A and B are shown apart, each in its own frame.
Chain A
């Protein structure tokens, strides 16, 4: 093989990337509705940035380049009874859009499954090729 990577690397790295996406989604969901005293302290959703990694003419895998904070703004809410409230009675609610996160979660899980399917097919084809002539 002249190729430095194979189909297992392609799908394996894609699965790792989708898992990172699932992890960030989980922490976003966990922090949704959490409150902070100031706007800067408020939690902002985390998003992985995917980047194509071209290895050769027929292999292109994917890497997580970095994880960025989303620009969803924290919401200012009047809640004077909250112990985190500032002197004026306002709290800052985490900048997480729960509907977006749910969609993100389903999509990541679905694409993870697709890559598992690709791996299974590739594995069985390789095993059949090895058995050829027996």
Chain B
């Protein structure tokens, strides 16, 4: 499996986990003391490529967001930031998906002998 899909399978899983984190940030936009978190995708995927397990990689590359302007109630969610990153991450998920889809198409054509 890994040889067929390369790093794209891991990339899709990481994108999906980052989507969860960003969704959690948006969900907690009004919760006092909530600290927004994010996954450093580039570093996480690099460590997976070096052979790290996905869970360890996610854990060690998840950090807290530094807000531009802290709210009085200790909440560090800034909706504009979170929404932009959420949209960006969704597009990147789609891109990875289309790479995977292309790989599947290639395989199918190879099996049919076209």
Question: Contacts A10-B23, A125-B90, A132-B100 known; A58 to B17 CB distance under 8 Å?
Answer: yes
Residue from B27, B32, B94, B108 whose CB has the most chain A CB atoms within 10 Å? B27
A125 to B16 Cα, complex, angstroms: 9
- A125 to B94, Cβ gap below 8 A? yes
CB-based A-B contact count at 8 angstroms: 93
| Least distance between A67 CB and chain B CB atoms (Å) | 14
- A114 to B93, Cβ gap below 8 A? no
User: Which secondary structure dominates chain A's binding surface?
Assistant: helix
A18 to B27 Cα, complex, angstroms: 9
- B97 to A118, Cβ gap below 8 A? no
- A122 to B19, Cβ gap below 8 A? yes
Residues in chain B near residue A62, CB distance under 8 A: 27-28, 30-31
Range class of the A interface residue count = 20 to 34
Residues in chain A near residue B79, CB distance under 8 A: 111, 114
A–B complex contacts, Cβ < 8 Å, 17 sampled:
A10-B27, A57-B58, A58-B62, A59-B20, A60-B27, A60-B28, A60-B34, A61-B24, A62-B27, A107-B30, A114-B83, A115-B26, A118-B86, A125-B16, A125-B90, A132-B97, A133-B105
Interface residues of B (CB under 8 A from A): 12, 16-17, 19-21, 23-34, 37, 39, 55, 58-59, 62, 79, 83, 86-87, 90, 93-94, 97, 100-101, 104-105, 108
Interface residues of A (CB under 8 A from B): 3, 7, 10-11, 13-14, 17-18, 21, 50-52, 57-62, 107-108, 111, 114-115, 117-118, 121-122, 125, 128-129, 132-133
